[in-house]
Amino acid sequence: MKKVMVLLSERYEETEALIVTTYLRRADIFVDTVAIGDSLDTFGDHCVPIRADKLFADIDPDDYAAVITPGGLGGTEALAADKRVTDLIADFYRQGKVVGSICASPIVLNAAGIAAEIEGVCYPGCEERVGFKVTHEDAVYVDRNVVTSRGPLTAPFFALKLIEVLAGHEAAQDVAGQSLFPLVKKTLTYCTCFDE
């Protein structure tokens, strides 16, 4: 069974961390939430407490097929400043393992020295700090073994693409159905929150 780690620093974007974790678990992909600090108890950018499954110090990277970084600028900066994290991401990239970054967290890909080699997407306004070879406008973008996405509202699509990459198209379709994606796609025109 493929194992995935979702890295949790302080002040990460809770929505992105939790949606990715729960969607991948729906697809029967084993996910460990991994705290990079000294405690399993973490707090996101909106003061939501989440108890991680493991500490970074206790994991064996060889056990994992993918590493995911949620956004949130504070959390992103903490991940980017941690050499253990940037070394791990660079190693996963070079080995062809899946690397996923959403929102501001592609900044971590820059700190790991790989952003300039790939094309991707990030939260609007972070483009210069990320430094992709080419920056796109898609909600989700895949370049080789790197999956990137834009922000909290794109997190379900990010998670579904990660499932597709890790477990196949049928698994992603199944979770999309469980999550009512086909219904939302048909009825999104009725959402008035985007109206001027």
* CA–CA dist 106, 100 (Å, integer): 8
23: CB partners within 8 A, 6+ apart: 156, 159, 160, 162, 163, 175, 179
Active site residue 191: no
Catalytic residue among 47, 103, 191, 193: 103
Beta strand residue intervals within the chain, DSSP E: 3-8, 30-35, 41-43, 49-51, 54-55, 66-69, 98-102, 119-120, 134-135, 140-143, 146-149
Q: Within 10 Å of residue 63's Cβ, how many Cβ atoms?
A: 10
Q: How many helices (H) and strands (E) does the chain have?
A: 8, 11
| Catalytic residue set | 103
